[in-house]
Structure formats: structure tokens, C-alpha cells
Structure 1
Amino acid sequence: MIVDRATYRDGHRTEGPADLSDALAAARATPGAYVWLGLYEPTQEELDLVSEEFGLHPLAVEDAVNAHQRPKLEEYRDSLFMVLKTVGYHPDGHSVSTGEVMLFVGDSYVITIRHGADSPLRGLRAELEKQPELLAHGPSAVLYAVADLVVDSYLDAQTSLQADLDELEAEVFAPGRPRANVAERIYEFKRQLLAFRRASAPLQEPLSRLSKGTSNYPPEPLRPYLRDVADHLSKVNEMIDGLDRLLSDILNANLAQVSVQQNDDMRKISAWAGLAAVPTMIAGIYGMNFVDMPELRQPWGYPAAVVLMVLVCVVLHRVFKRSGWL
């Protein structure tokens, strides 16, 4: 599905031919002009038509149709193909969702292809049209703007993840017994961070290549901007690594709390079992009812046995209390 199509000349949107082939031919014949075509989840037939008009590489077209690609940058003889993974965080469900943005960049055209609902490109064209000095740098300006927007969305998602993780950390270290479902939530957070890292970490190398000028794109004036985007991405990746380490520490702390609580419970059970063992032992001895037991014929025998049980239990209770077992 074509979302939008326009011809830009010297950074300004202009009226171009309605036919895609004519628009591309006119852009190639006009210095400083190029066509920006925006697509959303195109079918194989739709992308085949676009590929025929723009002369896209068949391997890149196959990747663009199938989606679910790893972030990457591929250069062909007369074009560049780049894949970026978008990330959206949903605090209500504590879940991370991903989408994809793919770009074909050529001499007089740029094609953006979106997959998935979590796409930060809505409104990007309108914002860029307010900056003709940026659009005047050609198709690579769109590449920079898309990469910058995607990385900024990473920062927003990372901030939301950090806030939820702070709440989880406070819950783990709150006074009282550790909750049984905290470990499950921690593992779920680690799964979300893994999905996040799969989107952001592989993008570092393509952005570095673009910013260092190892590619035919972008032009020299745009490379400092891409270096800035690469720096922001490095910050995101460092934060994600820090969150993952913090989650591991929280998990270890929770497991240690559970272990300590279990040890406390076992000590209390052992202490009460020890208190119950003494009267059981005395009652068992006197329950044998041997004739030659002298206490059986004494009027003070029964009260003495009861007093002995109580006295021993009181002494044991005080000993266990002082040692922290009760």
C-alpha cells in the first residue's frame, strides 16, 4: 500500500508527474530532485512493480517483502538497502513489541517500507518538509531522519522500561516476606530486554559505517549527523546492558531473600519440634507403666513430671529465642 509519494527539489515538495516512471525520470533529469515513495506492508506484486520501476536489487526486494530481518546495511552497485527494527514498549502489559523500517536509497529516489504497528514514521514527512535545508541534502537526508527517529524511539522505550524496573526493584527490597511471583516477573523483564537488544545492538555497525564514510551514501555534510545518531544508539545499548545486569542482580537478591526466608522457616520448625520432643519423651517414658517405677506410687509423681516438662520447655524456648530461632 502506497502511503505517500512526492517529488522534492532543493528540499521543497513539488508537483510531479502522476505516473511513477515519469516522476522518476523527471527527478533524474532535474539537478537536486528526487522521489520519496512511502509504502506500508506491501505485497509481493506491489513491490515487484516498484522494483521494476526503480531497478531494485532482487535480493533486497525479497528481504523487504518477507520482513523479520535483522538490522543491516547492504550496498549494491547503484543503491543502498538498510533495515532498522522499531521498538515499542507497552507499560500496561509490561511488553516490548517490534516492527521494521526498510529503506532503498538511490541517486534520485528513496523508498521507505514499514512493517508492524509500532512505527515511529507517522508525521515524519510533514516534519521534514518544515526543514527544506535538511531535505536539500538528497535521499540520504531521509535515511538520516528515519534512523534518528528510530533511535529516539529506543530512548523513549528504554526510559519506560527503566521506570518499571525501578518499581520492580522497590518491590523486591520492600520489607516483609518475598513474593513468589517476583522471579517470574524478573524473567519476563529479561525476555523483553532480549527483544529490545535484538533490535538495537545490530544497528550499531550499519550506523558506524554510514557515519565513517565507508559507504557511497550519505554525502559528507550528513555524516556528522549520523555520527550523532550512532552516539545516541551507543548510549541506548549501554543502558540496555546496564538494565540487564541490574535485573540479574535483582534476581540474585530475590533468590537470596527466598533462601534466607526458607532457612528462617526451617529454624523455627526445628525449634518448635525440639520443644515438642521433650514432653513427648517424658510422657513416653512414664507411659511404659513398669511396676518398679517408684514415681508411680508417689502422690507427687504426676505433678513432678508435668512441672519437669514445663520447666524444660521454658528453658528451651528462652534459648531458641535468644539465638534468633523463634
Structure 2
Amino acid sequence: MTLWLDVGTAADLAALAAELGLHPLAVTAAFGEDHQRPKLVRYDRHSFLTAATARVTGDVLTASEVDAFVTDRVLLTVHRDDTTGLDALTARWDSTPELAKSGAAFLLHGLLDHLVDGHLDAAQALDEQVEVLEDLVFADHVDHTGLQRRALRLRRSLARLRHLAVPMREIVGALMRRDDTLLPYFQDVHDHVLRVTEWTESLREEIATIRETQLSIQGNRLNTIMKKVTSWAAIIAVPTAITGFYGQNIPYPGFGQASGVWVSTAAILVISATLYALFKRRDWL
């Protein structure tokens, strides 16, 4: 008979530890340090698995640790939060009853398959957020500070997902060498793990590219602004130079006559208009 047990408190685990012969180090680790690295440790009478679920809300990834003790006929799962999706897990086991003859390895496969599929869903959700970020980079009015913060949150979420997914390759790889009956099924889980790790690496590179593109766009816009400011400064310098020159206390052509005012005014308008047309044609304004 194959048995699955699920506990959520240290007291429940302690009550079963002696009966199942669980190693004290594994029992301590199950309710010890948070956010342990996913791993599979073999003891004399059982194996101890540490993994995590992943869920994305907006652009933030949250993880919940799930531990499991595996004997020949018993799978004992330990979770600290009610996020393991027990209904989906039991439905997964019920969909492949022909594998039940493999004992607890069958239950372990279903658990790993459930967790890795959750990682795939998280990668898909983060991919959609990256696409939204790409569209925001080329928007007409961009909140660059908000964009940078969002990119940083996505990068942290991707790094967290990668830390959850990469060790799963070692875990599933070890199980593939251990169980020949379920080898094709563990191979399928292993393929999904590779897809998650490659996907997260690709998305991290896209985030870096988005950041570089944003800096490039900001630089180009700054250059455009500088050209416009310089062009307007050149236009304003013309009347400043003419009026400043004729402001000297010496006679000049048209001094004391109305014609002098009109000539200087005409010079200001003609030269300024010429500079404006020249800068506009060069797209400096």
C-alpha cells in the first residue's frame, strides 16, 4: 500500500517522525531555516526533499517552501503555508493510476511535476510583464524612475525563480538515475526544468537589453534637447549682439534717426529667421 501524508505543523511532524524513522537532521530542517536551497538528501531509511512553489502577483514572485520525506511506500509532505495546491496535486495523481505500482516514487513524481509546472506558469507570467515593460520603453511619455523600479523588481523575481529552478535539475537528474520504471516521466519533468532555467536566463538578458535601450533613448533625447537649447541660444544671441553693439556711446549708421532703429530691427528679424530655418531643416528644433 502506498500512503501520502500531509502535515503543516512541527507537532504533527514530530508525532510521525519516530514511527517512520525520520532522521533528526531532516526533521529539524523541515521547520528550520526559511528559503532553503532546493535539494534531495538520502538517509538510511528515507530521502528528504526541499523544494518550493512559485506564484507571481504583478511583477513580484513569491515562493513557499515545501518539504517531503520519501520512503518506499510513504510520501510525507510538509508545508508552512497553504499554497501547495493539494487539490491539483491529487488530481494529477488520479490521472495516472497505472503508475501507482511504483510506490512512493509515483507520488514523488506527481509532486515534482506539480511544482515544476508552477515554475513554468511563473516564468510565463514574468514573460508577459517583460513584454509590457518593452512597450513602455518606447512610449511617448515615460516615467523613467518607475520604469527602472519595475525593471529591478522583475530582475529580482527572475533571479529568485532561477534560484528555485536550477537546483531542480540536480534533484530530477538524481531520480532519473535511481528509478528506471518512471524514467520517461522524470525525463519529462527534467525537460520542463531545463525550459524554466533557459526561459529565466533569456528574460534576464531581455531585462538588461531593455535597460540599455532605455539609457540609449534617454541619451538621444538629451542630445535633442541640448541641440534645441543651443539653437534657441544662438537665435537669442543675435538681437543681444546687435542691441549690445549699438548700445555703445559712439555714433553708428542711423544714429539719432528713425532709420537706425528700423535697420537694426530688420537685421534682428532677418538673421534670427534665417537661423531658425537653418536649425529647423537640420532637425535641431
Answer whether TM exceeds 0.5 for this pair: yes
In the other structure, the counterpart of 2:14 is: 48
Q: Which moved more, 1:114-123 or 1:228-237?
A: 114-123
Q: Is the aligned partner of 1:293 residue 2:257?
A: no
Q: Which runs of 5+ in 2 are unaligned?
A: none
Do the aligned residues in 2 keep the contact of 1:177 with 1:261 (CA within 8 Å)?
A: no
Q: Which runs of 5+ in 1 are unaligned?
A: 1-32, 214-218
In the other structure, the counterpart of 2:45 is: 78
The offset of 1:112, in angstroms, is 0.8
Would you say how many aligned residue pairs link Structure 1 and Structure 2? 283
Q: Which moved more, 1:110-119 or 1:242-251?
A: 110-119
Q: In the TM superposition, what whole-angstrom CA distance separates every residue of 1:191-241 from its partner, at most 9, and x where no partner exists?
A: 11112111111211111111123xxxxx32012211110111101111111
The offset of 1:39, in angstroms, is 1.2
Do the aligned residues in 1 keep the contact of 2:92 with 2:110 (CA within 8 Å)?
A: no
In the other structure, the counterpart of 1:201 is: 166
TM-score, scaled relative to structure 2: 0.93
Q: Is the aligned partner of 1:104 residue 2:64?
A: no
Question: Using the alignment, how far apart are the partners of 2:3 and 2:209 within structure 1?
Answer: 51
Q: In the TM superposition, what whole-angstrom CA distance separates every residue of 1:16-35 from its partner, at most 9, and x where no partner exists?
A: xxxxxxxxxxxxxxxxx233
Q: In the TM superposition, what whole-angstrom CA distance separates every residue of 1:69-124 from its partner, at most 9, and x where no partner exists?
A: 1100101112111111110112xx32211012211111332211123343233342
SS of the residue 1:136 aligns to? helix
Question: Using the alignment, how far apart are the partners of 2:149 and 2:86 within structure 1?
Answer: 34
The offset of 1:177, in angstroms, is 4.3
Do the aligned residues in 2 keep the contact of 1:71 with 1:84 (CA within 8 Å)?
A: yes
Higher-helix-fraction structure? 2
Partner AA of 2:29 in structure 1: D
In the other structure, the counterpart of 1:61 is: 27
**Pairing 1:224-243 to 2, within 5 Å after superposition:** 224-243=184-203
Do the aligned residues in 2 keep the contact of 1:267 with 1:325 (CA within 8 Å)?
A: yes
Question: Using the alignment, how far apart are the partners of 2:28 and 2:170 within structure 1?
Answer: 22
Question: Using the alignment, how far apart are the partners of 1:131 and 1:235 within structure 2?
Answer: 23
In the other structure, the counterpart of 1:21 is: none
TM-score, scaled relative to structure 1: 0.82
SS of the residue 2:61 aligns to? strand
| Distance 1:208-1:127 versus aligned 2 partners, 3 A rule | closer
Calculate the aligned-residue CA RMSD, in Å.
1.8
Q: Which moved more, 1:159-168 or 1:274-283?
A: 159-168
Do the aligned residues in 1 keep the contact of 2:72 with 2:105 (CA within 8 Å)?
A: no
The offset of 1:127, in angstroms, is 4.3
SS of the residue 1:74 aligns to? strand
In the other structure, the counterpart of 1:269 is: 229
Match of 2:136 among 153, 156, 171: 171
The offset of 1:185, in angstroms, is 1.5
In the other structure, the counterpart of 1:24 is: none
Partner AA of 1:199 in structure 2: L
Question: Using the alignment, how far apart are the partners of 1:227 and 1:156 within structure 2?
Answer: 19
Seq. identity, %: 31
Q: Which moved more, 1:188-197 or 1:112-121?
A: 112-121
Partner AA of 1:74 in structure 2: V
The offset of 1:264, in angstroms, is 0.6
| Distance 1:132-1:299 versus aligned 2 partners, 3 A rule | closer
The offset of 1:295, in angstroms, is 3.2
